[in-house]
Structure 1
């Protein structure tokens, strides 16, 4: 029986994801040491302290969850149960969404550990090219893009349909 999932390639990817996660955690620790907290009133500001800390946490937590997902695929495939992880394998090849979502929140310039972790992930061959493109977009972004300030604007139509003191 020919094995469809390259276990050695996935183990190599796991090592890179593990190291990237460690680097993201290092960046998170730097932000925390600077006193950033998620209870500030600038949650509406892309790149503000609340969003930056949230983004760093998302990236670190996302890398750890992604590592566990990869380990599950490797474990089942190693045991000869590839049919149980076929969909998970394709999903894993797409990378993890917490990376782009987290980075979109973070102030620029990104800290060196974050940049190093992103470059490390970009170098992994098992991921689809679109994941590398997402990483390139993150690295080239000049500023944080989430949240979009327009999310918090009250349009005249929305204001007209909202009862005084209540929700629409």
Structure 2
């Protein structure tokens, strides 16, 4: 097994705690803004709910993959475990990029969830902790952009091969 069970338990616990915090944030936001409205600009209530929802889905998928990996390894199903292991260390889809859609100031539960997930910076491939820091430092929602042409030409987009790009 590539990871010891204690490490996987720690990772699963952090993922689950962040998931619960984001679900709480989603509920709070939905109560503040009944219906999603029609404003699609960055930071709108609709985009904020989409952002938190995408992060919840990303965490759920990563927790499912972690559970499958541990289950397959425990059962001795090496081939199936290898498939799950191949994606286990990828960052959860839309985490932290879902924050780019969200209105500022971010809710307390969102910030807590991001700080918890930051602890997994060495577990996930890439610079996950730094991505979280950069995302939290941005003073306003940035996605979707008001000017798509400028967005597509921006220097950070040119080398973007990261699978964690909010569509």
2:85 to 86, 89, 111: 89
Q: TM-score, normalised by structure 1?
A: 0.79
In structure 2, the residue matched to 1:118 is 114
Deviation, 1:36, is 4.5
Structure 1, 18-27 or 139-148: larger mean CA deviation: 139-148
Measured in 2, the distance between the counterparts of 1:30 and 1:36 equals: 10
Alignment of 1:1-168 (within 5 A): 3-38=1-36, 40-43=37-40, 45-124=41-120, 125-151=122-148
Distance (whole Å) between structure 1 residues aligned to residue 124 and residue 136 of structure 2: 17
1:85 to partner: Cα distance: 2.8
Distance in 2 between residues matched to 1:131 and 1:90, nearest whole Å: 17
CA distance in 1, matches of 2:38, 2:60: 29
Shift of 1:19: 0.6
Q: With the length of structure 2 as denominator, give the TM-score of the two structures.
A: 0.79
Distance in structure 2 (CA, Å) of the matches to 1:68 and 1:16: 14
Q: Alpha-carbon deviation of 1:128?
A: 2.9
Contact map agreement 2:59 2:93 (CA 8 A) in 1: no
Unaligned runs of 5+ in 2: 151-167
- CA distance 1:64–1:12, shift in 2 (3 Å): same
Moved more, 114-123 or 136-145: 136-145
Matched residue pairs, number?
149
> Would the aligned equivalents of 2:33 and 2:45 in 1 still touch at CA under 8 Å?
no
Runs of 4 or more, structure 1, over 3 Å off, are none
SS in 2 for 1:98: coil
Aligned partners of 1:83 and 1:126: how far apart in 2?
22
Structure 1, unpaired ranges of 5+: 154-168
Q: CA deviation at 1:49?
A: 1.0
Q: Secondary structure at the match of 1:23?
A: helix
